[in-house]
DNA sequence: TAGGCCATCTGGTCCT
DNA sequence: AGGACCAGATGGCCTA
């Protein structure tokens, strides 16, 4: 019985450490995600969903950069968090006078319906728009 | 006060 | 056998 208990306590310790490592990784992920306000702390689920979306936005920007070849306007992908995260909630923004404004990004959504759900606007911290602003140097690689 | 988020404990399962 | 991983249960804290 005593052995069983000490084994359980050891297991508890390992589990605690494992979760701490998981949380550290989540914190590291939070640090590289742009939030507004900057000190707003995303919950775990928000962090994962936003990271998923953010990665999509970055890769989408690279794709647009390829299409735009030669365009010199800065590019900005904007997510309107006041609406569900479907393709219509994302827009590609650039100067009105530019020919770069006519393209629309593909949706981050795939065939699975749960992926349509990455970003829930009910969020406490990020009530307005999230601007994923990419520097021109990066946009036109 | 209800609901959301979180940390921790726990037992089960899988892997080495 | 022991460790890693996972999911359910529980209780504390915070906010609307």
The bases of strand B with some atom under 7 A from any protein CB are 4-12
The C1' atom of C6 and the CA atom of A14 lie apart, in whole Å, by: 14
The C1' atom of C16 and the CA atom of A99 lie apart, in whole Å, by: 46
Query: A21: Cβ under 7 Å from strand B?
Result: no
The C1' atom of C14 and the CA atom of A49 lie apart, in whole Å, by: 23
- State residue A140's pLDDT score: 23
pTM over 0.85: no
Query: A16: Cβ under 7 Å from strand C?
Result: no
Is residue A82 within 8 Å of A107, Cβ to Cβ?
Answer: no
Q: What is the mean pLDDT of each run of 10 residues along chain A (141 residues)?
A: 78 91 92 81 91 93 86 53 39 46 45 35 37 32 22
Is residue A56 within 8 Å of A86, Cβ to Cβ?
Answer: no
Q: Which of A59, A72, A109 has the alpha carbon at shortest distance from A87?
A: A109
């Amino acid at each position: 019985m005593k052995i069983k208990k000490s084994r359980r306590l050891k297991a508890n310790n390992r589990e605690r450490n494992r979760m701490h490592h998981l949380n550290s990784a989540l914190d590291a992920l939070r640090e590289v995600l742009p939030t507004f306000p900057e000190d707003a702390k995303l919950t775990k689920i928000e962090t994962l969903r936003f990271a998923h979306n953010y990665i999509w936005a970055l890769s989408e920007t690279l794709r647009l950069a390829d299409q735009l070849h030669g365009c010199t306007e800065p590019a900005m992908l904007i997510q309107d968090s006041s609406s569900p995260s479907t393709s219509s909630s994302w827009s590609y923004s650039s100067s009105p006078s530019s020919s770069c404004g006519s393209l629309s990004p593909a949706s981050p959504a795939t065939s699975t319906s749960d992926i349509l759900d990455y970003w829930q606007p009910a969020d406490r911290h990020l009530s307005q728009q999230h601007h994923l602003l990419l520097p021109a140097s990066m946009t036109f690689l």
